[in-house]
Amino acid sequence: MSDRKTVVGAYEVANDALQRISSHEELCAERYRRIDEGLGRLDVAITGHRKIALGVMGAAGITALSLIGWLGAQVWDAYKPSLTPPAINAGPIP
């Protein structure tokens, strides 16, 4: 009789453990599904921010090139009189 109680008790313990494992797996599956959805939303947000960052870097590059061009024009205007050939600065030909 005591062997039967031991077997029945072991079966109940094993069945209880199996039910706990099953409910734990369901809970983990739900958590992983939510994590996966969150990562999908994060990927969309990162893609949007990447586009913004590339736009800002492009605008900064265009601004830098414009400033270099403006500086070149200022330098050219400052030194242009000294770059003309001397025959033109001499005046009319006699």
pLDDT digits (tens, 9 = 90+) for 41-89: 888 888 888 889 999 999 999 999 999 999 999 988 887 766 666 565 5
In a domain, 18, yes or no: yes
Secondary structure of residue 1 in the 3-state scheme: coil
Whole-angstrom distance, CA of residue 46 vs CA of residue 22: 36
Q: What is the DSSP letter of 85?
A: -
Q: Name the CA dihedral angle for 25, 30, 32, 35, rounded to a multiple of 10 degrees.
A: -160
pLDDT at position 62: 97
Cα–Cα distance for residue pair 15/6, rounded to 1 Å: 14
For residue 4, pLDDT over 60 is answered with: yes
Would residue 92 count as lying in a domain? Answer: no
Q: How many CB atoms lie within 10 A of CB 39?
A: 10
Q: Per residue in 11-47, pLDDT tens?
A: 899 999 999 999 999 999 999 999 888 888 888 888 8
Domain count, the chain: 1
The reply to whether 72 falls in a domain is: yes
What's the CA gap between 17 and 11, in Å, rounded?
10
- If pLDDT is split at 50, 70 and 90, which confidence band does 2 have? low
Q: What is the pLDDT, as a whole number, of residue 43?
A: 81
Residue 84 resides in a domain:
no
Question: Which domain covers residue 47, as residue numbers?
Answer: 2-78
